[in-house]
């Protein structure tokens, strides 16, 4: 069987670490040529070099996804390098400061929404414009289980609101462009072994034991497991799926 992304050009944001770095490895293994984007130049370049060392093809582009100008330049860089944009994984996000809603700062709220929601909007805007010119494509946004349900007593109002927004934006974009052969879906990870999770544990916001205890499967996901789901949604194997928010959560939202 041929790799599911063979011959495709894929764009991955937030590619310097965590799920984005895992996606670079997974998408490359599935045959994609990659453009990797992040604000972390050192990390992003390192991931691109790692893909190349393993026989893949990847280039890194510094991009702040909250900048309309930089996102436009990112998509232009993809087209300049490879002629088209077949699939995009809009994965860049932050968790922001954790505080009870009545104590949360307006500055933190604005920053989290600017990165997690406005950033996805800007990526969609420019990716879809290119896909309309070329006659189609597939886009996957990283939402979260926090885009499907609340986060319980974890004080994460801005993060939860931003990820619910990503799910809504995904569904609307899918409907607007279905007839133009542009598919838009979201992956909604549960607890994943990433630097973001490790930082929450370090800050004492939650313990590893508590996170594992919340999972029906009693473990955290590896970043590659989320990346594989995104690769499948980007591929032709999911050709009749659009507007879907796929929970990749070890049964979390089934409880």
Q: What is the pLDDT of residues 25-84, one digit of tens each?
A: 999 999 999 999 999 999 999 999 999 999 999 999 999 999 999 999 999 999 999 999
pLDDT at 1: 54
Provide the whole-model pTM: 0.95
Once rounded to an integer, what is the mean pLDDT over residues 165-185? Answer: 98
The model's pLDDT over 109-126, given as tens digits with 9 standing for 90+, comes to 999 999 999 999 999 999
Catalytic-labelled residue, pool 159, 177, 232, 252: 159
- The residues spanned by each domain of the chain are 9-191+224-245
∠ CA 79-81-86, rounded to 5°: 50
Fold of 9-191+224-245: Rossmann fold (3.40.50)
Residue 2: pLDDT band (50, 70, 90) is confident
Residue 155: pLDDT band (50, 70, 90) is confident
CA dihedral 99, 102, 105, 110 (to 10 degrees): 100
Is residue 177 annotated as part of the catalytic site, yes or no?
no
CA 206 to chain CA centroid, nearest Å: 23
pLDDT at 151: 86
Extended beta strands in the chain, E state: 9-13, 33-38, 57-62, 87-90, 137-142, 182-189, 245-248
């Amino acid at each position: 069987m041929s790799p599911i992304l063979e011959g495709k050009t894929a764009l991955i944001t937030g590619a310097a670490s965590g799920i984005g770095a895992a996606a670079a490895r997974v998408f490359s293994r599935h045959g994609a040529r990659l453009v990797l984007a992040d604000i972390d130049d050192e990390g992003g370049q390192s991931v691109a070099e790692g893909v190349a060392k393993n026989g893949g093809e990847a280039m890194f582009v510094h991009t702040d996804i909250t900048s309309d100008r930089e996102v436009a330049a990112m998509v232009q860089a993809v087209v300049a390098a490879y002629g088209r944009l077949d699939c995009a994984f809009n994965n860049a996000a932050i968790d922001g400061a954790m505080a009870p809603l009545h104590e949360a700062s307006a500055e933190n709220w604005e920053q989290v929404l600017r990165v997690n929601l406005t950033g996805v909007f800007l990526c969609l805007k420019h990716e879809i414009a290119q896909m309309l010119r070329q006659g189609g494509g597939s886009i996957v946004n990283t939402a979260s289980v926090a885009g499907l349900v609340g986060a319980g007593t974890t004080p994460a109002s801005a993060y939860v609101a931003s990820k619910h927004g990503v799910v809504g934006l995904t569904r609307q974009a899918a409907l607007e462009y279905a007839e133009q052969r542009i598919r838009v879906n979201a992956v909604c990870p549960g607890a994943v072994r990433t630097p973001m999770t490790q930082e929450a544990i370090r800050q004492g916001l939650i313990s590893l034991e508590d996170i594992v205890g919340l999972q029906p499967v009693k473990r955290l996901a590896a970043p590659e497991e989320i990346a594989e789901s995104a690769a499948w949604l980007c591929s032709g194997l999911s050709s009749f799926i659009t507007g879907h928010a796929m929970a990749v959560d070890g049964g979390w939202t089934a409880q």
